[in-house]
C-alpha cells in the first residue's frame, strides 16, 4: 500500500497505520499570485518556501519577513476604507487568463501517485478582508450593521472566484488529493470574532467551497491559527474534514470532544532526540493511547518536531498497524 492509499484510508475512517505529515506532499504553484506574495511557493524548481512578498491577486503588497518565514501587509494604507465601496475600489483578477497550461506543464512530474498531494490555498475570507481593510477596519466591518451586507456581498463574489481558481487547479494538476485552505480566526488569547458572527458572516461562503471540493472528490483541510476552540462548531458546519490547530489550543480536549466529527492534526511533546529508546517508546505508547483509535482517527503533525525521531516513526507505523488490526 502506498502512503497515498494509507492516507486515503485514514480519511475514510479505516486507518491502516497512523498517518503523519510524511505521507503527504505540499504543492503551491506560483501561477496563483498569493502563493508568491505570501512566501509559500512549493513547486518544480522551488520545492520549499524560500522567501516571497509582492502583490497578491488584488494588487495588495505583502512584505516577506524571514524571521516568521511568511508575509504580512504593512498596515496604515488600506486599499478599502469602507466595505460598501468594494465594487468601486477593487479590481478583480482575470483568473481564467492566468497561465495554467504553462504551470501544469512545468509541474507534471512534481506530484506523484505515491504521496497524498495537498495544495495550500492562501488568504481565505477574513484574511482577505484584513489584507484590504487592515485589521481594525475588517474587524469593525464584520459587525457594523452599516457594512455587514456589503461584506456578505463581497464574500459571495470572492467565493465565486475561489471556486473558479480551485476548479482550474483541479484540471491543471489532476493528482491533487486535497486542499489546505487558510483563514486565521484568532490570537493567542481568543478568537477575533464571536461564533455567532462567524456563523453568519463566513460559514455560508466557506461551505460553498467545501461542497464544491467534496463534489470533486477532494479532501478539505482547514488551517486557522489562533485560540479557536470556540469556533470548532463553525468549522464542522463549514464542511471541513480536518483542522490543524496550533499548540496554544488544548488539542487533547479538542480531540476528545470533536475527534469523531473533525479529524484533528495532533502535535505531541516528544522527548529530546537524544533520549533513550526506552524513553522514546514510553512517549510513543502514551501518544498512541490518547490518539490512535480506529474509529476516531487523527493526523500526526510531525513538522518541525525534532523529538519525533526516525526510530519513533518506524515504531509508530509497526505498532499502529498492530493496534488497528491491519498488520499482516
3-state secondary structure of 244: coil
**Closest listed residue to residue 289, CA positions, set 272, 311, 310, 268:** 268
Query: What are the two backbone dihedrals, phi and then psi, of residue 41, each rounded to the nearest 5 degrees?
Result: -80, 130
Handedness of CA 155, 156, 158, 164 (dihedral sign): positive
What does the pLDDT average to over 19-29? Answer: 96
Residue 169: partners with Cβ closer than 8 Å, 6 or more residues away: 29, 32, 119, 176, 179
Report whether 141 contacts 197 (CB < 8 A): no
The pTM assigned to this predicted structure is 0.95
Each residue's pLDDT tens digit, 159-206: 999 999 999 999 999 999 999 999 999 999 999 999 999 999 999 999
Q: Which residue has the cell 470574532?
A: 193
pLDDT tier, 68 (very low <50, low <70, confident <90, very high otherwise): confident
Largest CA distance in the chain: 65
- Is the pLDDT at 46 greater than 90, yes or no? no
Average pLDDT, the chain: 96
Place 139 in a pLDDT band, splitting at 50, 70 and 90: very high
> Mean per-residue pLDDT for 133-147?
98
Q: What are phi and psi of 81, to 5 degrees?
A: -95, -30
**How big is the chain, counted in residues?**
328
Q: pLDDT grade, residue 328 (50/70/90)?
A: low
Domains, the chain, with CATH or none: 24-270 (3.20.20.210)
CA atoms within 13 A on the CB side of 154: 29
Cell for 73?
501587509
Q: Give the other-Cβ count within 10 Å of 212's Cβ.
A: 19
Asked if residue 49 has pLDDT above 80, the reply is no
Do residues 123 and 162 make contact, with C-beta atoms less than 8 angstroms apart? no
Given a cut of 80, whether residue 327 has pLDDT beyond it is no
C-alpha closest to that of 160 among 117, 122, 209, 196: 209
Amino acid at each position: 500500500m502506498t502512503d497515498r492509499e494509507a492516507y486515503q484510508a485514514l480519511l475514510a475512517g479505516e486507518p491502516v497505520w497512523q498517518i503523519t505529515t510524511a505521507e503527504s506532499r505540499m504543492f503551491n504553484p506560483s501561477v496563483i499570485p498569493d502563493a508568491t506574495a505570501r512566501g509559500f511557493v512549493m513547486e518544480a524548481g522551488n520545492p520549499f518556501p524560500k522567501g516571497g512578498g509582492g502583490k497578491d491577486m488584488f494588487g495588495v503588497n505583502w512584505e516577506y519577513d524571514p524571521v516568521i518565514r511568511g508575509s504580512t501587509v504593512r498596515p496604515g494604507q488600506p486599499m478599502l476604507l469602507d466595505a460598501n465601496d468594494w465594487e468601486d475600489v477593487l479590481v478583480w483578477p482575470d483568473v481564467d487568463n492566468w497561465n495554467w497550461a504553462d504551470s501544469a506543464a512545468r509541474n507534471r512530474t512534481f506530484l506523484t501517485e505515491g504521496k497524498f498531494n495537498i495544495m495550500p490555498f492562501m488568504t481565505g475570507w477574513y484574511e482577505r478582508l484584513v489584507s484590504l481593510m487592515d485589521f481594525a477596519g475588517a474587524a469593525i466591518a464584520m459587525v457594523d450593521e452599516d457594512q455587514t451586507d456589503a461584506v456578505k456581498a463581497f464574500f459571495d463574489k470572492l467565493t465565486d472566484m475561489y471556486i473558479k481558481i480551485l476548479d482550474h487547479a483541479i484540471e491543471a494538476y489532476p493528482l491533487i488529493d486535497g486542499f489546505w485552505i487558510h483563514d486565521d480566526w484568532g490570537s493567542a488569547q481568543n478568537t477575533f470574532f464571536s461564533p455567532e458572527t462567524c456563523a453568519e458572516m463566513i460559514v455560508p461562503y466557506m461551505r460553498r467551497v467545501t461542497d464544491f471540493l467534496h463534489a470533486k472528490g477532494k479532501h478539505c483541510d482547514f488551517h486557522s491559527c489562533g485560540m479557536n476552540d470556540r469556533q470548532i462548531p463553525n468549522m464542522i458546519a463549514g464542511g471541513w474534514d480536518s483542522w490543524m490547530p496550533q499548540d496554544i489550543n488544548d488539542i487533547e480536549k479538542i480531540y476528545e470532544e470533536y475527534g469523531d466529527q473533525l479529524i484533528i492534526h495532533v502535535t505531541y511533546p516528544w522527548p529530546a532526540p537524544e533520549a533513550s529508546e526506552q524513553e522514546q517508546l514510553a512517549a510513543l505508547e502514551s501518544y498512541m493511547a490518547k490518539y490512535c483509535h480506529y474509529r476516531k482517527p487523527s493526523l500526526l503533525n510531525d513538522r518541525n518536531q525534532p523529538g519525533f525521531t526516525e526510530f519513533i516513526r518506524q515504531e509508530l507505523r509497526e505498532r499502529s498497524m498492530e493496534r488497528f488490526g491491519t498488520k499482516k
